[in-house]
Amino acid sequence: MTQATPAIRVEGLTQAYGAESDPRRVVALQNTSLSVARGELVALIGPSGCGKSTLLNLMGGLAAPTSGQVLVDGEMIRTPLPRKIAFVFQESTLFPWRTVLENLKLGMAFQGVPKEERDPRARESLNAVGLSDFADHYPSQLSGGMKQRAQLARALALQTDILLMDEPFAALDEQTRMVLGEDLSVLLARTGKTIVFVTHSLVEAVFLADRVAVLTARPGKIKTIIPVNEPHPRSRSFMTSDKLNALRNQLYELLHDEIRATMALGASAGAAETKSLYTVKEEEK
Amino acid sequence: MNAAHVKFPPATARLAIIAAAFGIWEFAARRFGDPLFIAPPSRVAVALFQLVHEKEIISAVGLTCWELVVAFVLSIVLGLIIGLIVGLNRFTRGSMYPVILLLYAIPQATILPLFVLTFGIGPASKIAFGVSHGVFPVIMTVAAGVQNIEPLLLTSARSMGATRRQILTSVIFPHMVPSFFTGLRLGMTAVLFGVLLAELYVSQSGVGHFTTEFTQTFQPQNLFALVAVLATIAVTLNELCRWAESHFTRWRVS
Amino acid sequence: MTRSRLAERLVQLGFFGAVLVAWEIATTRGHVSALLLPPLGSVYRDFITLLSTGQFWPDLGTTLYELAVAFLIAAVSGTVIGYAVSRSGYSVKVFDPLFAGLYAIPAILLFPLYVLFFGIGPASKIAMGATIAFFPIVLNTIAGLIYVKSLYVTAARSMGASPRQMFWSVMLPAAFPVLLNGLRMGLILAFLSILGSETIASFGGLGHRIVELGENLDTSKMFAYIVFVIIIALLLNSAVSFAESRGRSHPA
């Protein structure tokens, strides 16, 4: 494997739900290609329901594409590769019946780490995310931000080359996610991992990523890729810089039409909300 | 609202209400009650002390407790097995769950005579009848517990390389624990109803024999005392289930 | 999808078919006494007779009368007391654990006492059914009313809702699903306990009829009555589910 082999290579990926003849068929992704270099941090951004999460799941082998392929280190992937790829999900996927430390160890047990290595590795990565004092807490005793840090620690303890994150901070308030973003930048710069993450936040995308891939409205494909060109780790001054602002504005311009297009489609979630509002109103009369 | 009043702690107020209820009962029973039909608490208390020295009563209560425990254990074992079979597999769920729901909707009281015809009037029919009540809540909660797991938890385990067996033992089973204990509690309530109903229906040597005897010979103080003993046992068993539930699911509460 | 659906139906039919076949074989060729398990044919004939002669009416009437009165008592007292208790946080703290604790006592134990007080007629069954149904109704009324999202209350207050409007337009609709759940549980429990207490000591009612036939070893007719009661119970169940789905017609 040479330096030139990309860590992840997505080739002509299409993902559709429902048979071709079915009028309800939904094409989530259409003929998408993307290449992620080793040690690179790529953000996926796009309107709701554009297939960002689908793309991420396909990259990690959690689902099989309708057509096209994903190559990880030059090899095709169709099932999860726990030794190469770790995930951080949007909501907390910590097992609520285990303490934080036990959660980390269970992940390593799933991955096949020898028993005696689990404890030191778990404590090390808890330390890295600043949760050492909460090792014996249950997930229900942690705040939202701490839960996400614990999830990140679990992924780090798996010591994979690749980290895939699906809106890891989506459930958090803006202030928490900004500070967590800073921490994450410092942490990830040190690990040298290849990272792909999905986000809704334009600022977060620019602040963390080497390149930001903008997806179109459904059926999703990559519209443009914007390079950020800023060394890691990124500091607080970058967060408030004109450069970040300019990139953010550029992203917003690119996304604007796609978001309008999605809203015109009557994105399922929005439509359902409107509908239920009407039904409730009618009943009151 | 009534900030001007002094408020007692809720537990104290509760005790006061219970004491007042006993007071009213005592007064009303002495003043208006026919001693053939109602006994004041004081006489019940005296009867209680006499009853606990009667060998026959003790062995009847013991027998009923034995029936309760055996019926409860059988309900758990059967309910767990059937619940897992129904809950873990999409096909068995789709085919068997409606059947179980239908059987659950049958009022078992109507088939009580069948239990007596089949198992006789001894403890066996009470145990079988208790199981017929207790097994359903356990089946339903176990099946629900293995089904309503957050799909993302399974995906997450799979992404970390968990095998099917690891997913079963480390994700699905622990996830099932809280609903299993809820099932135990509901099952216990149902077993109590089933066994006690069967006892009251027909009994040779269990408590049902004595409730009939005390009713027919107009000894309300003894009847009240026996009911009090059984109620205490029932509440104790219920509390045990509740304690087990909160003890084994401590991770749920922060 | 549809094929597995079909297979599921086949398994269900197979299950009931197997039960019936086993029954038939056991009674015609087996050594099972007809006193224990009557032949299917004779149960079927008795069931048809039962329906065509209408001889079930007096017992059905008794049971439904007991159920209706018991449920009415429990529903009115349960919701009124529940509402009164829910008015202040203090009374909730006092009464909620009290009712929950009493609910843990198997109420069927009280039946011998009720027979003593109210006699062996319908009154003791009504008392039994009302006692058992009262607790889920009162507990759910309290729970439903106190867990109405404070956000709704605040929003209504900000728009100037009067106490009356608050109760009828906000509290009651918001608590309704939980209230309804309590009423459903109450009705089912009342039905089961009335049937149960009729088997123990009664002059009439469906539970009593079944037991009497069993004691007279008229097993075939007893099975016919059991089938009849099961059908009544299923009808009652679906009526309740229907009422419940109508009651909460807005999507949750």
3-class secondary-structure state, position B14: helix
What are A90's two structure tokens?
Answer: 């949007």
Query: Per residue in A15-69, pLDDT tens?
Result: 888 777 777 788 888 889 999 999 899 999 988 777 888 899 999 998 889 999 9
Q: Which of B154, B160, B179 to mutate to test the interface with A (most CBs of A within 10 A)?
A: B160
pLDDT for res C149: 66
- Of the ranges C78-82, C148-152, C160-164, the best mean pLDDT one: C78-82
Please name the member of B153, B161, B251 whose beta carbon is closest to the beta carbon of A111: B161
**Contact status of B223 with chain C (Cβ, < 8 Å):** yes
Query: What residues of chain A, 243 to 282, have a C-beta less than 8 Å from chain C?
Result: 276, 279-280
Residues of C52-80 as b/e, b for ≥16 C-beta within 10 angstroms? Answer: eeeebeebbebbbbbbebbbebbbeebbe
pLDDT for res A266: 61
**Measured between alpha carbons, how far is B252 from A248 in angstroms, rounded to an integer?**
41
pLDDT tops 70 at residue A229? yes
pLDDT for res A270: 39
pLDDT for res B37: 80
3-state secondary structure B55-67: HHHHHHHHHHHHH
Q: What is the model's pTM?
A: 0.82
pLDDT for res C248: 64
**Contact status of C55 with chain A (Cβ, < 8 Å):** no
Q: Do B152 and A89 touch (CB under 8 A)?
A: yes
How many C-beta atoms surround the C-beta of residue B64 within 10 A? 23
For range C177-184, the mean pLDDT: 88
pLDDT tops 70 at residue A284? no
Mean per-residue pLDDT of chain C: 87
**Residues of chain B contacting C9 with CB distance shorter than 8 Å:** 95
Distance from the C251 Cα atom to the nearest Cα atom in chain A, whole angstroms: 7
Q: Do B10 and C97 touch (CB under 8 A)?
A: yes
Please name the member of B18, B37, B116 whose beta carbon is closest to the beta carbon of C116: B37
pLDDT for res B5: 61
Q: Do C115 and B215 touch (CB under 8 A)?
A: yes
Q: Do A140 and B251 touch (CB under 8 A)?
A: yes
Q: Do C251 and A279 touch (CB under 8 A)?
A: yes
pLDDT tops 70 at residue C249? no
**Contact status of C106 with chain A (Cβ, < 8 Å):** no
Is pLDDT larger for residue B124 or for residue A179? B124
For range C115-138, the mean pLDDT: 93
Distance from the B160 Cα atom to the nearest Cα atom in chain C, whole angstroms: 30
Strand order in the sheet with A194-198: A85-88, A162-166, A194-198, A41-45, A211-215, A222-227
**Residues of chain B contacting C207 with CB distance shorter than 8 Å:** 109-110
- Of the ranges B15-19, C170-174, C243-247, the best mean pLDDT one: B15-19
**Residues of chain A contacting B253 with CB distance shorter than 8 Å:** 140
**Measured between alpha carbons, how far is C209 from B114 in angstroms, rounded to an integer?**
14
For range C153-170, the mean pLDDT: 81
Cβ-contact B82, C183 below 8 angstroms: no
For range C120-127, the mean pLDDT: 93
Burial class of residue C11 (count of CB atoms within 10 Å of its CB; 0-12, 13-18, 19+): middle
Query: Per residue in C74-92, pLDDT tens?
Result: 999 999 999 999 988 889 9
pLDDT tops 90 at residue C127? yes
How many C-beta atoms surround the C-beta of residue A57 within 10 A? 22
pLDDT tops 50 at residue A280? no
**Residues of chain B contacting C5 with CB distance shorter than 8 Å:** 94
Complete DSSP assignment for B74-138: HHHHHHHHHHHHHHH-HHHHHHHHHHHHHHHTS-GGGGHHHHHHHH-SSHHHHHHHHHHHHHHHH
**Contact status of B95 with chain C (Cβ, < 8 Å):** yes
Cβ-contact A7, A194 below 8 angstroms: yes
Mean per-residue pLDDT of chain A: 85
Quickly state the pLDDT bin for A277 (edges 50, 70, 90): very low
Residues of A5-18 as b/e, b for ≥16 C-beta within 10 angstroms? Answer: ebbbbbbebbbbee
List of chain B residues with pLDDT < 50: 1-4, 254
Q: Which of B155, B156, B165, B248 to mutate to test the interface with A (most CBs of A within 10 A)?
A: B156
Which of A58, A97, A98, A53 has the alpha carbon at shortest distance from A78?
A58
Please, what sign has the CA dihedral across residues C12, C17, C23, C25?
Answer: negative
Q: What is the DSSP letter of A220?
A: B
pLDDT tops 60 at residue C63? yes
pLDDT tops 60 at residue A195? yes
pLDDT for res A177: 83
Please name the member of C169, C173, C250 whose beta carbon is closest to the beta carbon of A279: C250
Is pLDDT larger for residue A178 or for residue B83? B83
Please name the member of B158, B161, B253 whose beta carbon is closest to the beta carbon of A112: B161
Distance from the C66 Cα atom to the nearest Cα atom in chain B, whole angstroms: 16
Cβ-contact C133, C190 below 8 angstroms: yes
pLDDT tops 90 at residue C125? yes
Nearest CA in chain C to B34: C117
For range C216-245, the mean pLDDT: 88
Which of A91, A53, A80, A65 has the alpha carbon at shortest distance from A196?
A53
Neighbours of chain B (3+ CB pairs under 8 A): A, C
Q: Do B174 and A97 touch (CB under 8 A)?
A: yes
**Measured between alpha carbons, how far is A59 from B159 in angstroms, rounded to an integer?**
12
pLDDT tops 80 at residue A276? no
**Contact status of C246 with chain A (Cβ, < 8 Å):** no
What percent of chain A has pLDDT above 90? 44
Q: Do C98 and B214 touch (CB under 8 A)?
A: no
pLDDT for res A282: 33
Q: Do B94 and C5 touch (CB under 8 A)?
A: yes
Nearest CA in chain B to C215: B113
pLDDT for res B253: 57
**Residues of chain A contacting C250 with CB distance shorter than 8 Å:** 276, 279-280, 283
Quickly state the pLDDT bin for C250 (edges 50, 70, 90): low
pLDDT tops 90 at residue A162? yes
